[in-house]
Structure 1
Amino acid sequence: MAYENSVATPLRQLPNALTIVRFAAIPLFVVLLVRDQDGPSWPAGIVFGLAAITDQLDGWLARRWRVESAFGKVADPLADRLMIDVSVVLLVAYDRLPWVALVILLRDLLLVGGYKLVVPRGYEFEVSRLGKAATWGLYASLALVLVTERGTWWPLALFWVSLALAVVAAGQYVLKARREVRR
């Protein structure tokens, strides 16, 4: 069935609108977390969780309705990276995550910088299943860190597993880019 023909024009913009909402949620998330920096922050956790849900929803709608866009292919993962990175920085600053968690920033800088280098040379970036699983795990673990008491071990364990998956996924992206980039 040709969904793109059956989806009303305003709805065709919904996936990108959800991505923009995710960008806009970042300052709200920061304000809510700063307000509750000493302990669990259900308001920040809810905003963060809603951002995670929109991440899943926008991509699913775009694929289902066949309205994927160049904007969405870049903006969607960037919105995820920014939300996750801001969360990690604040949680490290408030001693809810150890400073080593900042390695996620290096991973994301590598990916964003690498993206700018390889796309003009013919590389077509697509998020891998492992990358998606890592992002889901990071969203889930960070949301759980946000809403639990400082030092609760199990959200931290989930974070470390998800971070390891994210690093492995980054390695896969680098290897794929090396194979596919036109010299």
Structure 2
Amino acid sequence: MSWNLPNILTLLRIAMIPVLGLMFLLPYPWSNVIAAAIFGVAAVTDWLDGYLARLWKQTSAFGAFLDPVADKLIVAVALVAILTANANAWVAVPVAVIIGREITVSALREWMAELGLRASVAVGWLGKIKTTAQMVAILLMLYAEPIMGVSAFMVGFGLLYIAAVLTIYSMVLYLSAAWRAVNGTAEAEKNRG
């Protein structure tokens, strides 16, 4: 492992995960604000570590592996914490969709990498929009306090549904791309044989 700032930021994000979950679930009136701040810092370090790694040419196989793992873990923990505090079907459905998609797409990327076809399931612009909607939704739902008289939780809740719809759509795109890549490879091998 390379001990550079981008990798250290990723490890820091992983270290924040249990603190986020604990803070959100503490029975204090300020715990949600601290949890939202931790999630906000994690979201900023997610962007910053990738930016710095590219800028300083410090990309590494370890960082490429660990960064998406850290992202998925902190999102999953935050979503489960939100669901724990708001246990109802309206929150459970988008949480299940988002976590299920993350597991599916991660497994798909791993499988495609084993086949040497990882580039066919690279992150696209829709994935970035989905991630932005998801991160803002989680941040607002963790915070849950009114902002200028508007319920941050309800705005986040709406964004979570937008993220869930984009999640399903982007998963379908990933699965279709993988299907075409696998079939194209199988067809090419059949034609050679």
TM-score range, shorter chain: 0.7 to 0.9
Q: Which moved more, 1:125-134 or 1:155-164?
A: 125-134
Q: Once the two structures are superposed, what CA deviation does each residue of 1:146-173 show, in whole Å capped at 9, x if it has no partner?
A: 1124974211111111222222222222
Aligned partner (choices 20, 23, 39) of residue 32 of structure 1: 23
TM-aligned CA deviation for residue 118 of structure 1: 1.7
Question: Which has the greater radius of gyration?
Answer: 2
Paired-residue identity, %: 31
Q: Is the 8 A contact 1:39 1:149 kept in 2?
A: no
Please give the alpha-carbon distance, in whole angstroms, between the structure 1 residues aligned to 2:86 and 2:29: 9
- Relative to structure 1, the CA distance from residue 43 to residue 56 in structure 2 (aligned partners, 3 Å threshold; closer, same or farther) is same
- 5+ unaligned residues in a row in structure 2: which ranges? 187-193
TM-aligned CA deviation for residue 22 of structure 1: 0.9
The alignment status of 1:79 with 2:70, answered yes or no, reads: yes
Q: Give the TM-score of the pair, scaled to structure 1.
A: 0.83
Q: Once the two structures are superposed, what CA deviation does each residue of 1:32-60 show, in whole Å capped at 9, x if it has no partner?
A: 01104888710000000000000110111
Please give the alpha-carbon distance, in whole angstroms, between the structure 2 residues aligned to 1:120 and 1:170: 19
Please give the alpha-carbon distance, in whole angstroms, between the structure 1 residues aligned to 2:143 and 2:67: 25
Please give the alpha-carbon distance, in whole angstroms, between the structure 2 residues aligned to 1:41 and 1:158: 18
- 5+ unaligned residues in a row in structure 1: which ranges? 1-9
Please give the alpha-carbon distance, in whole angstroms, between the structure 1 residues aligned to 2:50 and 2:131: 13
Please give the alpha-carbon distance, in whole angstroms, between the structure 2 residues aligned to 1:53 and 1:168: 25
The alignment status of 1:104 with 2:95, answered yes or no, reads: no
Structure 2 residue aligned with 1:4: none
Q: Give the TM-score of the pair, scaled to structure 2.
A: 0.79
Q: Is the 8 A contact 1:37 1:94 kept in 2?
A: no
The alignment status of 1:114 with 2:108, answered yes or no, reads: yes
Q: Is the 8 A contact 2:101 2:168 kept in 1?
A: yes
What amino acid does structure 1 have at the position aligned with 2:131? T
Aligned pair count reads 173
Q: Is the 8 A contact 1:138 1:162 kept in 2?
A: yes
Q: Which moved more, 1:170-179 or 1:98-107?
A: 170-179
Structure 2 residue aligned with 1:124: 118
Structure ranking higher on relative contact order (CA contacts 8 Å, 6+ apart): 1
